[in-house]
Amino acid sequence: MGSVRRCLGVLALLVAVVALSPTNGTAAVSADWAMPGRGPGHAGFNPGETTIGSGNVGRLTTRWSATTWFSGASPAVVNGVAYVAAGGGRLYAFDARGSRGCSGRPATCAPLWTATVGGNLTEPTVVGNVVYATGFLDASHVLLYAFDARGSTGCSGSPRVCRALWSAPLGSVGSPPTVSGGIAYVLGGSAASTKVMAFDAGGRTGCSAATRRCAPLWTATMGSTQWTLSPVAVANGLVFAATDAGRVSAFSATGSTGCSGTPKACRPVWTASDPSNPWLDGLAVDGTSVYLTSVKGVLSVYDARGVGCTGTPKICSPLWTAPVDYVATGAPAIAAGVVYVPSRSKSLVGRISAFDARGSSSCSGTPKVCRPLWTGRTADRPFDGAPPAVANGVVYVTSNQGRVQGFDARGSMRCSGKPKTCAALWTQWTPGGYPSSPVVAGGLVYLSNEKAFYAFGLPR
């Protein structure tokens, strides 16, 4: 969802309102996109999108845009507001439909409110009227911040500027936050000792009213980090975290099983480590399986519950793997029984590859290895750290030259040959380069790049 390669981020919403709250964290099907990968599992799939599909995606055009300096991180849109993190530690809130504060056609929009913390901000997460983002103040000071998503508490002036409701020091490294079940999860610590850190999402337990600073409810040591930190994933009472040193671990989401001491520290429920396949690039969970991509071009899939794992502590092996290319360039997306992986070859040819998420079709051998159901060649190489997004039968992927493309997620339209290859149904270039992971919600496709934030929709 991306990986925190450049420490920036965004989100997206529209149409229905997400039933998320700091004490609830889960939601019925909605059109919102509340965090990287849309939900706590970061599967990158929006089942609530019904407006744009494979039959009309080719007609998309720019609906509105906004200038956001160095904001190549994915947007967030919840309850009609799009939240965008940009350079200089800026957080912007825009009318997601391009109405309030907007003029012209296509519209150019001004923010409803802004916040500045200095340094850079990761992709935001919006849950229960609170915006969470990780800020990199300098090489040794990384903090988790929480803001009022409505631009009310702690906000003043015209134009409106907001200060944080509360913050929490993480150390010298950090990941985008994931919020679920009233807890904000983030990776922190240092490159030598990366930790999963869990905070009260409401900013109460472990927090000082005087300083508005919070301490973690519990932590868990992951090991060393060499390059990037993907956001942790949460599903079925477990927190899944990976470092790019090739290690993935599952912990009790409530900080109960395997946890002890003051301050509380947790041991993993299960762990997997593959020294031959380091440089993990991203992870996603669909409830039953954990999907991991690596910069060495391998998709590895594990049972999320630790079934089939052995030993004490429990060590797991992959259910199946798949070579995707020379380099996998982002976390996978999972939708309707298919997992989608962006990648590039040694010659920098970009691809999107689709695999059977169950590890059944086009799979063989012991250990099991899978081949793609279909592949699509992108306009240029997918941008590193930008996971794809899937909605209403279309998979969207961005490339480092500023293009966003949509392919038929079923591998049917504009596809041919054996092995099957597919051409894009829609391609759009955005001036500025290095676009974020796309976000699809409420009939609009959102993304940001190093110069601006864009919303694409069907012609009015």
Mean pLDDT over 31-50 rounds to: 95
Ranges 79-88, 143-152, 268-277, 314-323: which has the least confidence: 268-277
- Please, which contacts does 114-117 make with residues 24 or more away whose CB atoms are closer than 8 Å? 114/90, 114/159, 114/160, 114/161, 114/162, 115/90, 115/91, 115/147, 115/161, 115/162, 115/163, 115/164, 116/88, 116/89, 116/90, 116/91, 116/161, 117/89, 117/91, 117/143, 117/145, 117/164
Decide: 34 and 214 in contact? Cβ < 8 Å: no
Distance CA 440, CA 396 (A): 9
Question: What was the pLDDT predicted at 278?
Answer: 63
Which one-letter amino acid corresponds to residue 393?
A: G
- Closest of 253, 258, 367 to residue 302, by C-alpha: 367
Mean pLDDT over 295-311 rounds to: 89
pLDDT at residue 381 is higher than 90 = no
Question: What was the pLDDT predicted at 178?
Answer: 97
How confident is the model over 433-450, as pLDDT tens digits? 788 999 999 899 999 988
Mean pLDDT over 260-268 rounds to: 96
How confident is the model over 220-253, as pLDDT tens digits? 999 887 656 789 999 999 999 988 677 899 999 9
Ranges 94-103, 185-194, 337-346, 356-365: which has the least confidence: 337-346
**Is the pLDDT higher at 144 or at 73?**
144
- Closest of 212, 154, 203, 153 to residue 182, by C-alpha: 203
pLDDT at residue 137 is higher than 60 = yes
Mean pLDDT over 103-125 rounds to: 93
- Local confidence band at 5 (pLDDT 50, 70, 90 cut-offs): very low
- Return phi, psi of residue 89, to 5°: 70, 30
Mean pLDDT over 123-140 rounds to: 93
**Is the pLDDT higher at 121 or at 17?**
121
How confident is the model over 403-426, as pLDDT tens digits? 899 999 999 999 999 999 999 999
pLDDT at residue 6 is higher than 70 = no
Mean pLDDT over 280-295 rounds to: 87
Question: What was the pLDDT predicted at 1?
Answer: 41
CA 68 vs CA 86, 108, 213, 452: distances in Å? 6, 12, 29, 5
Task: Return the SS3 of 14.
Answer: coil
Question: What was the pLDDT predicted at 230?
Answer: 84
Which one-letter amino acid corresponds to residue 406?
A: G
Pairing of strands 178-180, 161-162: unpaired
Ranges 259-263, 267-271, 427-431: which has the least confidence: 427-431
Average predicted confidence (pLDDT) for the chain? 88
Query: Please, what sign has the CA dihedral across residues 142, 148, 152, 158?
Result: positive
Decide: 457 and 441 in contact? Cβ < 8 Å: no
**Is the pLDDT higher at 120 or at 186?**
186
Question: What was the pLDDT predicted at 383?
Answer: 62
pLDDT at residue 28 is higher than 50 = no
Distance CA 419, CA 384 (A): 25
pLDDT at residue 188 is higher than 80 = yes
Distance CA 322, CA 420 (A): 16
- Local confidence band at 313 (pLDDT 50, 70, 90 cut-offs): confident
Rounded to whole angstroms, the maximal C-alpha distance in the chain is 65
pTM here? 0.91
Question: What was the pLDDT predicted at 2?
Answer: 41
Mean pLDDT over 4-17 rounds to: 33
- Local confidence band at 379 (pLDDT 50, 70, 90 cut-offs): confident
Would you give the distance in Å from CA 258 to the centre of its chain? 27
pLDDT at residue 19 is higher than 60 = no
Mean pLDDT over 389-405 rounds to: 92
Question: What was the pLDDT predicted at 275?
Answer: 65
The percentage of residues in the chain with a pLDDT greater than 90, rounded to a whole number, is 69
pLDDT at residue 7 is higher than 50 = no
In the chain, the domains with their CATH numbers are: 57-457 (2.130.10.10)
Decide: 54 and 60 in contact? Cβ < 8 Å: no
Question: What was the pLDDT predicted at 384?
Answer: 64
